[in-house]
Every structure is written in structure tokens, then in C-alpha cells.
Homo-oligomer: A and B are copies of this chain.
């Protein structure tokens, strides 16, 4: 196969676009695709002060790198979860990446917050994954708001978005469906959230990370079993293989007209979050989940 643009030998094949690229042309394709997503979805501008959540995985690092290359004002945020071995390795990757790319980095240590994940795990009867996700979102949001960032960016790719949209759809979860998309405006105490990589697949991000020599952390979390979303990703990869372009078509049709009925419904029937009585973070009622987890961990010490 030859590169669609310059006719050199292609190194990346993209069946869903019915095309292939050499390394340099793939990078241009990738960067233009991100730039177009940002512009068309009005995610942010060059005036915005953007905080990128950096786990150390390929998607979050690719996200920070492409935004930096495109000239945006980018800072990084890493949450150190204090999981033995795993967290130190991830943090090292993020620190080296930010130093090499001149991206200012904030590290938030869960040990100092009394929320180290191994101890959170000890006080829970069920899997720690949803509590861990909640804690990360909590601090992403808190740091973005407290430090005056105008957008909080995450590296969610098309496969993540599709798996989540599919899971929300299977349950017909109207509140989550009405909120899904590459842009969530600041509202009710939440920061403005953006997902600039939403049009790019996991495969495309992996290629971008590889071709840019990004060192990334790819060990699976030692606490995470095979998630349901993995089964959905497998299923969608199969569908995409049979009908190239299906993923993006499903997602863009959702944004273009599928989501609006859910939004209108939520506007009249949905509930608005209120500030947590303890920390002020938006929650459904009373004391938020993270404060309750913090209490449980502290009680476990007594």
C-alpha cells in the first residue's frame, strides 16, 4: 500500500477511512484531525488555559503532545494513586514526558489526601474501579477549578467513547446519554470538560504515540479485572471490520441528532446536582461519594 498523500510506502493502514499513510503524512493527518475536532466542536481556543489529565497511558500523553504541538497553552495533571509498583512507574513516565516536552505538571498525591487506592480498596466490599474513577474525576475537576484552568482535557478516544455510548445505550441511561460528548460546558460546579481525541481510534493514538517515540505506561491496573467495556470494544471492532466507518458514524450521528431528545428530556425531568455539604463538590444530595470514601478510609485506621 502507498501513502495516500505522498505515495511513499504506507506504514499505517486506516480501513475506516479507506486509506493509508506514511509516518509523516499520518502525523499530519492525526494533527489536522484533532485541530478540526477542536474547531468544529468549539472545544477551546488559543486563549484557553488547558489542563490535561495525564495517567501515563498512550492516549493521555498523545493528547497533551498533540495540543502542545498545535500551539495550545497546555499544563498536565497527574493523580498519584499510590498503588504499589504501578503508580510510581506511571508517575515516572508522566514526569519524564512533561520535562521533555516543557509541559508544566501538577501532581496530586492520593496518599496525602487520605485516599490511597490500596486502602480505599480495603474498606470496600465491591471492586474498587468505580470509586477510583470517582476519585480521579473529583481531583481533575477540583484542580481545574481551583487553579483557574478554563478547560479540562482528557485523552478519551473514539473506542472509549463508543464503548461508553454503547453501555449507556444498552441501559438507556438518559442522564448519562444527555451528558455524553466531546464537550461539557462548565455548569453546576463542574469544570468545562473536553475530549479532543474523540474522532481518533485507539489504534490511531497508539500509532501517533509510537511514531512520536512517546514512552508510555501500559501495564494494566493490578486491581482491574477484564472490564465489561472490553467486551463492548471487541464487539465494536468486529462491527467496524465488517462495516468500516460504523464507529464514527454511530458517534457523530449521536452528536448530530441522537442526543438532543435526551437533553430536552433531562432539562424538564432531570435533577440538578447540589454542593456537597462537606467539600462543596457537586453531588446528588448530602455528602459526596469522595468525602464518604475518605471517612471510610480514616475509620479503617482507628
Which A residues lie at the B interface, using CB under 8 A?
A: 169-172, 174, 231, 235, 238-239, 242-243, 246, 249-250, 253-254, 256-258, 260-262, 264-265
Contacts and interface: CB of A to CB of B under 8 A. Distances in A.
A172 B172 CA distance: 13
A172 B181 CA distance: 15
A171 B261 contact: no
A172 B257 contact: yes
Binding site secondary structure of chain A:
helix
A22 B258 CA distance: 44
Contact of A235 (B169, B238, B260): B238
10 contacts: A171-B253, A172-B253, A172-B254, A174-B257, A174-B261, A231-B242, A235-B239, A261-B262, A261-B264, A264-B265
A260 B265 contact: yes
A169 B239 CA distance: 14
Nearest to A258: B172
Q: Point out which of A169, A239, A246, A249 has the most chain B C-beta atoms below 10 A from its C-beta.
A: A169
Contacts of A262: 261
A174 B265 contact: no
A253 B256 CA distance: 24
Contacts of A171: 253
A263 to B, nearest CB: 9
